[in-house]
Structure 1
Amino acid sequence: MNWKKIHLYLYTFCRYFLATMIISYAFAKIFETQFISQPSTYDKPVGELNGFQLTWFYYGYSYWYGLVIAITQIISSILLFFRKTTRIGIIVFLTYMINILLMDFAYNIEGAKGMATILTVMGLFILFSDYKSIKKYFIDEPPLFSNDDYSNWINKIKNIKYLYIIFVFIGFFFLISTLKNKYMGKNDFYGTWENLKNNDRLYFEAANTFQINKKNEFNSFVNGKYSFSKDSIKFNLSDKKSKMYLEGKYILEKNTLNILSKNDTLKFKRIR
């Protein structure tokens, strides 16, 4: 059995199959038969959208962004049709195809997982069929600039880069984690609460901000910042400096929140 011939025919088949299939996906984006959301999607809360609806709505929001993806797919397709440009074509192809594969599984897009897996496996087969050339270019070939191109004093201190790399990783780790705890921390209030009396929604959000969605009023949205102590809570409006919106004692349990103001007792249940 001539394995080299079999490899040749399989390699060629994969090139043409990928190039052909990707063209179809590209034109689907150009003619807007892909990334199109149904009318009912626009009236659903974001929290009720499934992975497919959320992904299609997001990518379909901007036509020109989908057009850029389509153009990239067409370029990779044309490159794959020719042996001399297959190497760059397959690299361009895999840059978006692997992302598509991960997206299909991460957002549970049924019906697309199978084809995405097949296309990605074929692409990897083409890439690693030429692994010697890939290894030669990316690993064996010397870097663009050698030590001789740098000044002597730079060569003497070049090992400082290892300390710099460690500093960058540790520095940003603690910086981002500190900022998260300060501005994105989640306290016991954090989440969505519904008023049991009128179904208004109270949202406790990051950085001690809040929003209220009033179901039965013309000016339906109220937002600002809140502060709390051991047993009391204050809501200040953001559009009017230091104006108090609500203040009172609170009783917070796992899924219930009662706020006892001067005029009323507000009862909320946790939605999420």
Structure 2
Amino acid sequence: MIWSKPPSRTILCVRLLLSAIFLFYGSVKLLGGQYYYGDWTISKSTADGTSLVWAFYGYSPFYGRVTGLFEFVPAVMLLFRRSAFAGAAALFAVSLNITLMDFGFDYPMVKYFAAAYTALCAFLLVRDRAKLTAVFRDPAVEESPTADRRG
């Protein structure tokens, strides 16, 4: 079957890899790195997309640090089996945003890494698709045992 569960070692490796990556990036942001903080003057005619984004996120040090928190906390959650699904779901949303931003502002090679991280988060979510469908299932709608299943 194409969707059979991969070996738990594979899952563990993916979780540890994503956790290490997002712990690093989250820590950098929490410590005040990556974004352009302070005084700056920017012009659309002279600034590239990368500089524009770093200046925008750095405009508010609070916001810059919160973006780091949104990477750091789910990365920690990936380290524990009980919270790994929620961590993967949160990092999927974060990494999808990063991927769209990287492609939208034409970042260099890192946009492909971001896309790979998003795909790995999706892999973890699909692996636990029973939990994923349970999130969206309406418990008030019970399927009748006599319901017609022919569709």
TM-score range, shorter chain: 0.7 to 0.9
- Amino acid of the residue matched to residue 103 of structure 1? M
What is aligned with 1:72?
70
CA 1:81–1:116 in structure 2 vs 1: closer, same or farther (change >3 Å)? same
Counterpart selection for 1:96 from 90, 94, 97: 94
C-alpha distance in 2, partners of 1:51/1:60? 14
What is aligned with 1:21?
21
SS at match of 1:109: coil
C-alpha distance in 2, partners of 1:43/1:133? 48
CA 1:5–1:69 in structure 2 vs 1: closer, same or farther (change >3 Å)? same
CA shift at 1:97, angstroms? 1.0
What is aligned with 2:147?
none
Runs of 4+ in 1 over 4 A off after TM superposition: none
Counterpart selection for 2:139 from 138, 142, 162: 142
What is aligned with 1:35?
35
Superposition RMSD on alpha carbons, in Å?
2.5
TM-score, length basis structure 1: 0.47
CA shift at 1:37, angstroms? 6.9
Write out aligned runs for 1:1-272 (5 A): 6-36=6-36, 42-139=40-137, 141-143=138-140
Structure whose residues are more often strand by fraction: 1
Tell me how many residue pairs correspond in the alignment: 140
Give the gaps of 5 or more residues in structure 1.
147-272
In 2, are the aligned partners of 1:37 and 1:53 still within 8 Å (CA)? no
CA shift at 1:104, angstroms? 0.1
SS at match of 1:82: coil
Query: Per-residue CA shift, 1:88-130, capped at 9, x if unaligned?
Result: 1111111211000000000001132122012111100000001
- Amino acid of the residue matched to residue 63 of structure 2? Y
Rg larger for: 1
Structure number with greater CO (CA < 8 Å, separation at least 6) is 2
CA shift at 1:20, angstroms? 1.0
In 2, are the aligned partners of 1:19 and 1:80 still within 8 Å (CA)? yes
CA 1:142–1:6 in structure 2 vs 1: closer, same or farther (change >3 Å)? closer
C-alpha distance in 2, partners of 1:96/1:70? 10
Identity value in percent: 24
